[in-house]
Structure 1
Amino acid sequence: MTQTSVPTIWIVDALDERAAEIAELLAPLHATLRLYADARKAVFHARRSAPDLVVLGVEECTIPSDEILGWTRQFNETANMPVILVYQDGESAEVVDRAMAHGATDALERVRLHKELLRRVRWRLPTSRSEKGRRDEATRSFEFLERVIHASPNAIVAARRTGEVVLFNAAAQRVLGWSESEAMELNVRELYPPQGAERIMHMLRSRQHGGPGRIESLREEVVDRHGERIPVEISAALVMEDDLEVATVGIFTDLRQRLAMEERLQEAFETLERTQRQAVIAELAGAAAHELNQPLTSLMGYAELLQRQGHSAEQAERAVDTIHQEARRISEIVRKIGRITRYKTKEYAGGELIVDLDEAGPSEVVPTPPSERGDGL
């Protein structure tokens, strides 16, 4: 019952005349009555402020009674709300049984309304403080759980075994673009690329992705209301009842920002790597120019000396020896450059950094074999 002692009863019937008849029969209760012709509207209103009891007429209703009750029982605020089903005389027993299986509290033929309705409503209304307290505590627990689900930063979507969406939290609405009421009209297959939902169901039933009945941290794609494919990381599970699959629930994280950040980091890394390579090339070129300049100067000087006439054999021999020494020096410098695996820099003229070839890579000096000295040139 509500905060006051006056109960709140909703009458949901497609025909105003039948709803008015039920309201007249319930007048002795002095309850607050509210009439609805649209069952779906009543369900969504009940989520904001659930009544103490609902009388539901099923004739000529555009939505099957079992579906209405399925919606009612999926929401925390209305999960325990008493619902008395009123059906036409001669209604199929299968229809009534299906409605009772989906959460109807009681069922009554319309022909028996005048004799039975008032008594059954009184019996179903909470009459004690303890019962009301238990209902209020359950409602608060359900409300807290719903707040947790809707506050989750990860999208959470649940669907019946047949695919109808029954839960669509705020993060799912933000990522996929549908409102909660719009999502309730969807089949879960519409949230995936072609064959995507079937593939996930196959994996849920296998042992390769976290065990039968669940998958963990799987990279997949979902489809928003505009048809755009969104990369996500998804975990999912089967909801079981008496060893039967009754629903699925999926929790997924939008990867678009993460992938964009990874792409930017990769681009920055590649740019840094190119910059470092260019710097190494510049430093190595500076070192080569510096180290090779001195022996080349000596080579050119002594070569010019040999070209001149009038030198003694002894002077010519010394010039040739010097040329050989400087050639070996150049060879050693080239060898060092070819063996660089790590390097250090040193400051050169004007503060420019060049590679220190003596500290770069393996530094041991391999003597030049006599056969490579060019003796007898």
Structure 2
Amino acid sequence: MFTMDTYRRLPVRFVKGEGAYLYDDKGRRYLDFLSGIAVNSLGYGDPEFTEALCQQARELLHVSNLFENPWQEELAGMLLKHFWTRGKAFFCNSGAEANEAAIKLLRRYFYERGEKRYRIITFYNSFHGRTFGSMSATAQEKIHVGFEPLLEGFDYAELNSMESVMKALKSETGGIMLEVLQGEGGIREADGEFLSKLQDLCRREGLLLIVDEVQTGIGRTGRFYAYEHYGLQPDILTLAKGLGGGVPIGALLAREEVAKAFKPGSHGSTFGGNPLVCACAKVVVRRVEELLPRVEKVGNYFKQRLLELQAGKVRGKGLMLGLELHKECAPIVLKALELGLVINCTSEKVLRFLPPLIVEESHVDEAVDILKEALKP
């Protein structure tokens, strides 16, 4: 009634969560295979997470980034432990903010080097956010409608096509930005050989490789960072969603040489990396490290169960999977919701599954049973 009409909200009011389940205001239980769109990594009501949140709330919620912040330092160390080389971290509040920071860092890096290289190649069906820079980086026309003129400096290419990338390459190109597994674009995976050639191109031409892991990062695909599946060495990495387990946090990681381009006053965030969100994220990171083998095992099991349905193409890794149908899937999502399963539709015909990382094979069986019913004509 009082909020702007920016979402197509489904007719359910969730009031409680426990484990992998949500409960509505009528007391009905739903199996959550969406996790707030890859956010609730540990599901709902996790005791350790809840205790960390409450304890930090009692002690200190927020302190300005004008002062030392040991919570940020601890979390940064945990994230950089999994990064492929020595680096630095910056904390913000969302994935869009992390990607904005990545765009700024690239431009600043080349400015510091005295090079006029500011353009970034991104890929069709990508999604990098809805703020102005991240929206301009997103190569989906439907996201741009009504907001032109966009931020200048982005060139779009076809995923898995080096020919398309080479056509987009200009003398002002400073980097390439991509998701190794496109989420909003329909769970579309970059090919390993293509990624290897892309990295070779970046090294040869002195480009920065930016990997957007807002949706794929923090264990979602069975590796701590999804780029690990392909042996990539990104110069810049962006994170959010599952990192906070439900509280708003984004992060930018960059190798040390690149990170040096940010100096006091060049970038910042009022709320970014406050004690509360960092305390929560530290719990998430520790738990995800332990959960990785299970994510891979349950993800493989889930993928096999989806293939057995013979309902369409199955794509993805770990617990980030998609089922591409031969028809629009919005009605299927609504039917599944009526039957007690929370999923969503992306790219019009792809059912997207992003369950909490704590799910077990029994949850998968329950989800597939409901999905069978939802798929019936």
TM bin, normalised by shorter chain, reads: under 0.3
TM-score (norm 1): 0.24
| Larger-gyration structure (1/2) | 1
Structure having the higher helix fraction is 1
